[in-house]
Structure 1
């Protein structure tokens, strides 16, 4: 038989251990609850952030706020294919955001014409295939506002010849010499004894011409030998009936055509890169088959003549005009806009 004092001490020890155990259960439960709540909170936060990222990446025209009204725009003829793909989808997403393409009266369409019309208040925003010129920035400031160019797409410039003309390609130097009047016969570049007819739009009309003069001709003046055309449709039509002709324009306007031949070009030497995917589709196979754009070569810069294209916006204290132009540019930079631009034969920039 145990002493009474020993029994009392044992009971106290048992109570103490029970109390310690109970405290342990409470503490462990609290930690489990706290940690579990934090983990769940982190998961919820990550899920929310993930959803935000997905929404941002997969944004479409409806995700952009577009002011209601009828808005006038115009400019670069190189944008024609983009307008065909983009505008109907914008109308579906924003029926009250009415876009009206507007040509100048008594002036040929083009980037320069569009920017001039924007400066003069005839357009809400314009489209350009070349950067804004210093003189245009100055003219805007004289009128009390600024101009902003927003790059939205990348494209290539294509050189075209008559389908019957057999040459492997041209270097940038040879193209330059043709358009400044130094090379006048195709036999000077490995072709037949045939006079060259170089076609071009006028310098003051199109952004493509200014880009060509600045980047291919290195700032030299177009030669007196050049025959001027009204627009690319006119140029391609003349080229199709002139075996000695040559013309340049936006690649999406040139490459799919049936009656002309887009030409591989090289920075130098014989490293020719075609603006179309090989093999070349012959005229008698077209239009059942058409040449496709060499998008990868444009994207990587392997093709020698590429450029950015811009939405030109009038910046004027966040005016309605500015909001409209920026909304249009934002739509083109959404995933939906960039996908449609790619389908139109241009290179997406994001």
Structure 2
């Protein structure tokens, strides 16, 4: 009997040990699995937080708006500048904002003593040391770069906006449009009557600034017509204002200039232009405002056609900077940097031009 009880006690003890072993094993297994799950969840959580943090930082950077106040290396001094008449609305709106936000910078517009104001005369004055930087609505020429090199420095152009070149005529003239080639042939004296381009039998009177003072050009530097002399029938004017006056008096006259400058004028009509006949694009947003409506509503620049390049005559707006490691280079770069901020580009758009960024 005692032996039987001992055997039962031994068996029960072994069973108890076995059960305790199973329980301990399960607990250890659960602890290992739980630890592994905790590690995985923690890693995933930290990764998500890192991604979210990076995303927030990127979003924060992408929404940062550059302003006139954020531009560095703006000199504390007074500077002379000048050049393109197409920039008139920029000088009126944008430059006044710059001087309000950065009062340490004072800008003084200077007209040429001889000749009419424009891109060419402004660059010439910069070369001669009469300006600290220039505003231009055309690229630099090889000749201008050569003169700069002779004088011990170079010139740099920094684009800050876009405009179109508009061709304007007397409102009474009935012409469907012109190709770029036809316009060039008119100024070379090869096309002399409007009936040669689909108009009435009326002599053409081309108006232009003198090439040495020109604000915009219709013979690009990469054109075969570069350097060609205008026809003898071209009449030269001092400014766009003078040209507009003559256009209103002379039915057969024609003039080309900054679209932003001439489109709002009530006494002239802008012609559609095309690279080829029959594919004319208007420099203004349709519908065209009639002279009768013009006092209350002005024609606006066709910004979409300028942006996508479908309008065939574009005028890029450049800050021309003297590369001489001196005060002129510092102010030229600072002025371009101001115009290329988000605030500057918005102001250029408000001034009626197309931004570049």
Q: TM-score, normalised by structure 2?
A: 0.89
Cα offsets for 1:234-259 (capped at 9, x unmatched): 11111111122111101011111001
Query: 1: CA distance between counterparts of 2:297 and 2:40?
Result: 69
State yes or no: 1:154 paired with 2:169.
no
CA distance change for structure 1 residues 217 and 177 in 2, over 3 Å: closer, same or farther?
A: farther
| 3-state DSSP of counterpart to 2:212 | coil
Moved over 6 A (4+): none
CA deviation digits over 1:128-155, x for unaligned, max 9?
A: 1111112222222233322211112121
What's the counterpart of residue 3 of structure 2? none
Three-state SS of the structure 1 residue aligned to 2:213 is coil
1:338 aligns with 2:345: yes
1:233 aligns with 241
Rounded to whole Å, the distance in 2 between the matches of 1:173 and 1:221 is 15
> How far apart are 1:214 and its partner, in Å?
5.1
Other-structure match for 1:80: 88
Runs of at least 5 residues in structure 1 that lack an aligned partner in the other structure: none
Contact 1:176 1:217 (C-alpha < 8 Å) held by counterparts: no
Contact 1:281 / 1:291 at 8 angstroms: preserved in 2?
yes
* DSSP 3-state at the match of 1:59: coil
Higher-Rg member (1/2): 2
- Answering whether residue 149 of structure 2 is matched by residue 141 of structure 1, we say yes
Task: Using the TM superposition, give the Cα deviation of residue 212 of structure 1 relative to its aligned residue in structure 2, in angstroms.
Answer: 4.1
Answer yes or no: is 1:36 the counterpart of 2:45: yes
Q: Which moved more, 1:141-150 or 1:153-162?
A: 141-150
* Equivalent in 14, 25, 32 of residue 34 of structure 2: 25
CA-atom RMSD in angstroms: 2.2
Is 1:189 the counterpart of 2:204? The answer is no
Mark the CA change 1:175 to 1:215 in structure 2 (over 3 Å): closer, same or farther. Answer: farther
1:284 aligned counterpart, secondary structure: coil
Q: Is the 8 A contact 2:120 2:215 kept in 1?
A: yes
* Gap change, CA 1:309 and 1:7, over 3 Å in 2: same
| Aligned residue in 2 for 1:61 | 68
Aligned-residue offset at 1:9: 4.0
Query: Separation in 2 of the partners of 1:35 and 1:111?
Result: 61
Structure 2 unaligned blocks of 5 or more: 1-7
